[in-house]
Amino acid sequence: MARIYPFRAYRPAAGQASQVASVPYDVVNRQEARTLAEGNPHSFLHVTKPEIDLPDTVSAYDDSVYQQGRTALQRLIADNILVQDETPCLYAYALTMHGRTQTGIVCSASVADYDTNTIKKHEYTRPQKEDDRVKNIEALSAQSGTVFLAHRQHPDLQSTIAAVTANTPEVDFVSEDAIQHQLWVIADDAQIKTIVGAFDSLGPIYIADGHHRSAAASRVAADHRAASGEDHPESQSFLAVSFPEDELLIMGYHRVIQDLMGRSPSEFLAAVGEVMDISLGKEEPTPKCFNMFLDGVWYTLTARSDSYAADHPVESLDVSILQSQVLEPLLGITDPRRDTRIDFIGGIRGDDALTARVSNGWAVAFKLHPTAIGELLAIADAEEVMPPKSTWFEPKLRDGLFVHAIEEM
């Protein structure tokens, strides 16, 4: 069983959502965020990326940054740009990209379920990023970043969400990246009861994206329990949106490498040919098939069927095969989380981003077939861990549409 709860969200006031909503904090750097927020005092980037309002000499992890974020959030509330709902609600949040829609349920999710792995994980977290999110939550007294969950489809959820979204949305705008964002408030007690009950019967649900945010929420919850001796309901849950797994879109998460470990392009091509089948030209990647851009030429690489454990949920992933057969043995990339010689490019950026990087001095690019959502769920169910940068979800959620207060603000 997975427990979800309605909550009293702080949300943009009528007509303000398109001004407040911002890209997630971790998809832009400081200067990009500053440019996006320029001239818009209501942009939620002032809360989630508060270093944009401080001198560049101030580290993004300085205590003053977190306090600046609190100041920005309190200003939005004081100016009635963000307004708290009167009663606890659930919310339907639909994102439409290129005519394709995914509709999730915004809720607060149980920290206890996260701690006991009823909310299943598939990635390791980094201590520095966890610490950053802990400080962010503590400074704000709120969770401002939404954890992206996935659940298996349930008929009661389908029918209830269909009834909710048949009504006119309370929020409806198109962001600058051409994604339509729509929001419905679910305040009806019967509908809330049906949705909560459906999740209770689902079994596990899964973190698709947001491992650091959920891990930080767990740490903050533990601190609150230790300090007060009580399980205050708001501090023991975290802001989340859960989508049915069959509506999610995962794109390829590609790799570029700075150098060939002293090999010439022809020598590297020959080395790859010893472990994979190579053909000239670019064919759209399929499972166990990769594109490689090297020395101005596209190649298609195909993994040999006897070269990986087909029945192992992690070792049979395309990202694992590329890592174990090429990136580590031929290019010396033993720790892709920390090695500065590798970079990752989301599939939404297209092939041109790969060719441009190689044309600008990087040595080689690899284009991968997307990890399937079924593979992610299987790995989480097996309590295994996916390689870093295995999934690129589109479209991206917007920050600022929901804020979950964990104590009185």
Q: Is 79 left (phi over 0), alpha (psi -120 to 50) or beta?
A: alpha
CB atoms within 10 A of CB 49: 29
Q: What is the pLDDT of residue 230?
A: 65
In degrees, rounded to 5, the angle at the alpha carbon of residue 263 between the alpha carbons of residues 259 and 269 is 95
Backbone angles phi, psi at 357, to 5 degrees: -65, -40
Q: How far apart (Å, rounded) are the C-alpha atoms in residues 257 and 275?
A: 18
| Size (the chain), residues | 409
User: How would DSSP label each residue in 288-324?
Assistant: TEEEEEETTEEEEEEE-TTSS-TT-TTTTSHHHHHII
User: Which two three-digit tokens encode residue 214?
Assistant: 């959920």
User: Which two three-digit tokens encode residue 329?
Assistant: 């043995």
User: Which two three-digit tokens encode residue 325?
Assistant: 């057969």
Q: What is the pLDDT of residue 229?
A: 66
Closest to 368 measured CA to CA, from 272, 250, 270: 250
Q: How far apart (Å, rounded) are the C-alpha atoms in residues 135 and 128?
A: 11
Tracing tokens 């200067």 back to the chain, one arrives at 31
User: How would DSSP label each residue in 183-209?
Assistant: EEEE--HHHHHHHHHHHHTT--EEEEE
Burial of 8 (0-12, 13-18, 19+ CB in 10 A): middle
pTM over 0.95: no
Q: What is the mean pLDDT of each run of 10 residues along the chain (409 residues)?
A: 95 97 93 96 98 97 97 98 98 97 98 96 90 96 96 96 98 96 98 97 94 95 84 86 97 97 98 98 93 98 96 96 98 93 94 97 97 95 92 95 90
Longest dimension (CA), the chain: 67
Q: What is the pLDDT of residue 232?
A: 67
Q: Using alpha carbons, list the distances in angstroms from residue 68 to 185, 321, 403.
A: 30, 44, 17
Closest to 389 measured CA to CA, from 329, 342, 352: 342
Q: Is the dihedral of CA 112, 115, 117, 120 positive or negative?
A: positive
Write the CATH number of the domain with boundaries 253-369: 3.30.1760
In degrees, rounded to 5, the angle at the alpha carbon of residue 52 between the alpha carbons of residues 51 and 57 is 60
Domain positions in the chain are 4-250+394-405, 253-369
- Name 158's Cβ contacts closer than 8 Å, sequence gap at least 6: 244
- Asked if residue 188 lies in contact with residue 194, where contact means CB atoms within 8 angstroms, the answer is no
Q: What is the pLDDT of residue 350?
A: 93
User: Which two three-digit tokens encode residue 84?
Assistant: 């708290």
- For the chain, the distance separating the N- and C-terminal CA atoms, rounded to the nearest angstrom, is 31
